[in-house]
């Protein structure tokens, strides 16, 4: 029968929201009203204000653990009536010996009305919730009485059996009796008792052989031997075979229950200890396995890294070698073509001149590519040598502008120079710094349509020397701005313009500027123009 909403409200305090929502939906389907909280503090606050009919808590929670809340609730008269189900990540049985060792944590843990070990399927949770709602005891409630412990008595002495049975039953044990060894072994198989009391001298089987059979089947089973006065050496033999203790007949019946209880408790503790040791060994084995796997993965990564580095080095070496080998014949070709164009060996006609100019143009382009490749491979290999001297920045700008002037004129671009009057001294490699400026200027020329304008400014700024190259060209799309300093990267619009380029100029310029302790940046508006800014350390005048 579905629970009535208002009466039966449940607070779920669980760290995992998915798990909480699965439980909540199932409980709501049963007619419960459900509240949720995801950490201990929120959980305790809601417990206080909402006073639910029942609370389900994770034993371990952020901010405040569930078992701590549980102890808190049970100590507070206003809340103590709220039943609490704790969901524990570890074996509940393992907690009990901790309590016996006087650990407060275990007390808090066991103050819950019910502890269930995770994972707890929805149906199981529903079953316990229903039980609590109907007032039936939740099974197995940890705080309720323990199930009775079973003792098997094997003895052909009827009187002794009877007296033991009465004594132990009175003391709260469940007692099974067998008058023969064979019957004893059969009952043992059937009932799996917690302890066996065994007479050593019986009519059918010898007690020692019964003991051997029992120990073979259950090595951890506590067995107490009963021997007649005068046959103690038999008892010693039994102890060697694994008996836990021996009592000499006639027995002191008042003491028997205490001895039995002590041995059952000892064997339980031993079992728990073994289980915990086993769990510990398993987890450390797993950990060791994981460490070994990680170590293997690390070595593989290291090897891959070394291989990659070697491949990178070989690639750089190869590029460097090829570009070097290309440059020599290309420079040769350029020289001879220039000789022909100069008519050093006789006149050439207009068509021949036109063809030779095309050859010269392409030859220069190839030399430029070879130079760029050589530069980039030297930079990457850390082999670029700089020859730095004290230089006036304005002079370098002048020289770069002068060398590119013909190209600006050919495209009818207006070039404006705005250079600070006071000298801007920098510590730089002359050729390399001119190469940087050339690159920025030739890009400005290349990516600005005819009739546009380019402005070059040089000025001091906060102890730095700045050079700005601005154009009114095609601009750079926003999404490409980040990447134009990467090797071989060309912005979408520049590729469409069909302008020639390798995408190596800017990465080289950037590296060169950085080798001078400077930086390079860009701002741009698509269709409106771009500004590249180089910053360099300014020397004292």
Distance between CA atoms of residues 111 and 75, nearest Å? 10
> Which listed range, 68-76, 195-203, 289-297, 443-451, lies at the site for ligand ADP (CB under 6 A)?
443-451
> With respect to ligand ADP, which residue has the nearer C-beta, 112 or 508?
508
CB 525 within 8 A of CB 407: no
Tell me: does residue 408 bind ligand ADP (CB under 6 A): no
Residue with Cβ nearer ligand ADP (458 or 506): 506
Residue by residue, DSSP assigns 258-291 as HHHHHHHHHHHHHHHHHHHHHHHHHHHHHHHHHH
Q: Which is nearer to ligand ADP, 86 or 400 (CB)?
A: 400
Contact window for ligand ADP (CB under 6 A) among 254-262, 357-365, 412-420, 490-498: 490-498
**What residues pair up with 465 in beta bridges, in sequence order?**
460, 536
In angstroms, give the least distance from the CB of 372 to ligand ADP: 8
Q: How far is the CB of 37 from ligand ADP (least distance, A)?
A: 55
Total of residues contacting ligand ADP (CB under 6 A):
20
Q: What's the rounded Cα separation, in Å, for the pair 204 and 183?
A: 10
Closest to 402 measured CA to CA, from 372, 449, 437, 365: 437
Our finding on whether 128 is near ligand ADP (CB under 6 A) is: no
The sign of the CA dihedral 332, 333, 338, 344 is: positive
Shortest distance, CB of residue 286 to ligand ADP, whole angstroms?
Answer: 53
Q: Report the distance separating Cα 90 and Cα 508, nearest Å.
A: 61
Contact between 494 and ligand ADP (CB under 6 A)?
Answer: yes
How far apart, in whole angstroms, are the C-alpha atoms of residue 392 and residue 71? 80
511 binds ligand ADP (CB under 6 A): no
Minimum CB distance to ligand ADP smaller for 175 or for 484: 484
Cis peptide upstream of residue 240 (ω within 30 degrees of 0): no
Site for ligand ADP contains 502 (CB under 6 A): yes
Q: Whole-number minimum distance, CB 36 to ligand ADP, in Å?
A: 55
Kindly state the tokens that stand for 449: 């349509």
Closest CA to 505 of 493, 494, 496, 518: 494
In whole angstroms, give the CA distance from residue 370 to residue 320.
9
490 contributes a contact to ligand ADP by CB under 6 A: yes
Q: In whole angstroms, how close is the CB of 466 to ligand ADP at the nearest point?
A: 17
Burial 61-84 (b: 16+ CB within 10 A, else e): beebbbbbbbbbbbeeeebeebbb
Q: Is the N-terminal amide bond of 119 cis, ω within 30° of 0?
A: yes
Which residue lies nearer to ligand ADP by CB, 226 or 484?
484
Question: In the complex with ligand ADP, which residue's Cβ is closer, 187 or 484?
Answer: 484
Considering only residues 444, 458, 534, 536, which one is a binding residue for ligand ADP as defined by CB under 6 A? 444
Q: Is 455 in the site for ligand ADP (CB under 6 A)?
A: no
Q: Which stretch binds ligand ADP (CB under 6 A): 118-126, 261-269, 274-282, 488-496?
A: 488-496
Dump strand ranges (E) for 7-165: 9-13, 33-37, 54-58, 84-88, 114-117, 150-154
454 touching ligand ADP, by CB under 6 A: no
- The nearest distance, CB 43 to ligand ADP, in angstroms, is 58
530 binds ligand ADP (CB under 6 A): yes
What is the contact mask toward ligand ADP in residues 460 to 479, using x (rule: CB under 6 A)? Answer: -----------x-xxxx---
Handedness of CA 322, 325, 327, 332 (dihedral sign): negative
Decide if residue 441 touches ligand ADP (CB under 6 A): no
User: Measured from the CB atom, is 396 or 484 closer to ligand ADP?
Assistant: 484
Least separation in angstroms between CB 41 and ligand ADP: 55
* Residue 491 contacts ligand ADP per CB under 6 A: yes
Sign of the C-alpha dihedral computed for residues 275, 278, 284 and 286 taken in this order: negative
Alpha helices in 386-471 (DSSP H): 393-410, 430-446
Please say which residue, 444 or 466, places its beta carbon nearer to ligand ADP.
Answer: 444
Q: Tell me which residues touch ligand ADP (CB under 6 A).
A: 439, 443-444, 447, 471, 473-476, 484, 490-491, 494, 501-506, 530
């Amino acid at each position: 029968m579905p629970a009535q909403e208002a009466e039966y409200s449940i607070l779920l305090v669980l760290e995992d929201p998915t798990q909480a929502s699965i439980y909540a939906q199932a409980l709501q389907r049963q007619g419960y009203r459900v509240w949720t909280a995801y950490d201990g503090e929120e959980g305790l606050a809601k417990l206080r204000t909402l006073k639910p009919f029942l609370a389900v808590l994770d034993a371990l929670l952020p901010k405040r653990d569930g078992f701590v809340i549980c102890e808190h609730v049970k100590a507070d008269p206003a809340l103590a009536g709220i039943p609490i189900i704790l969901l524990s990540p570890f074996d509940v049985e393992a907690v009990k010996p901790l309590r016996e060792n006087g650990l407060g944590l275990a007390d808090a843990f066991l103050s819950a009305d019910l502890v269930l070990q995770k994972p707890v399927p929805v149906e199981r949770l529903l079953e316990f919730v229903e039980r609590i709602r109907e007032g039936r005891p939740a099974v197995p409630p940890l705080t309720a009485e323990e199930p009775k412990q079973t003792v098997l008595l094997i003895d052909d002495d009827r009187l002794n059996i009877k007296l033991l049975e009465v004594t132990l039953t009175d003391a709260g044990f469940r007692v099974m009796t067998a008058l023969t060894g064979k019957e004893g072994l059969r009952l043992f198989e059937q009932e799996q008792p917690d302890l066996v009391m065994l007479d050593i001298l019986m009519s059918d089987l010898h007690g020692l052989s019964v003991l051997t059979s029992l120990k073979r089947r259950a090595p951890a089973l506590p067995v107490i031997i009963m021997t007649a006065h005068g046959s103690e050496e038999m008892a010693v033999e039994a102890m060697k075979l694994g008996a836990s203790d021996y009592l000499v007949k006639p027995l002191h019946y008042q003491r028997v229950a205490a001895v039995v209880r002590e041995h059952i408790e000892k064997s339980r503790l031993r079992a728990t200890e073994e289980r915990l040791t086993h769990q510990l060994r398993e987890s450390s084995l797993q950990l060791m396995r994981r460490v070994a796997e990680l170590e293997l993965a690390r070595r593989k990564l290291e090897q891959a890294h070394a291989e990659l580095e070697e491949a990178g080095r070989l690639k750089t070496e190869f590029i460097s070698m090829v570009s070097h080998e290309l440059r020599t014949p290309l420079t040769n070709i350029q020289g001879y073509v220039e000789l022909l164009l100069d008519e050093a060996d006789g006149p050439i006609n207009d068509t021949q001149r036109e063809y030779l100019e095309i050859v010269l143009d392409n030859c220069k382009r190839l030399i430029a590519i070879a130079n760029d490749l050589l530069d980039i491979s030297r930079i990457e290999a850390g082999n670029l040598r700089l020859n730095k001297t004290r230089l006036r920045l304005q002079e370098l700008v002048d020289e770069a502008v002068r060398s590119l002037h013909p190209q600006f004129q050919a495209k009818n671009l207006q070039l404006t120079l705005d250079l600070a009057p006071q000298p801007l001294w920098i510590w730089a490699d002359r050729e390399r710094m001119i190469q940087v400026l050339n690159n920025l200027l030739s890009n400005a020329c290349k990516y600005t349509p005819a009739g546009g304008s380019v402005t070059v400014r040089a000025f001091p700024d906060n102890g730095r020397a700045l050079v700005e190259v601005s154009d009114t060209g095609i601009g750079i799309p926003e999404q490409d701005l980040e990447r134009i300093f990467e090797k071989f990267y060309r912005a979408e619009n520049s590729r469409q313009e069909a302008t020639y380029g390798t995408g190596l100029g800017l990465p080289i310029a950037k590296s060169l500027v950085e080798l001078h302790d400077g930086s390079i940046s860009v701002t741009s508006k698509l269709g409106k123009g771009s500004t590249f800014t180089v910053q360099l350390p300014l020397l004292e005048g």
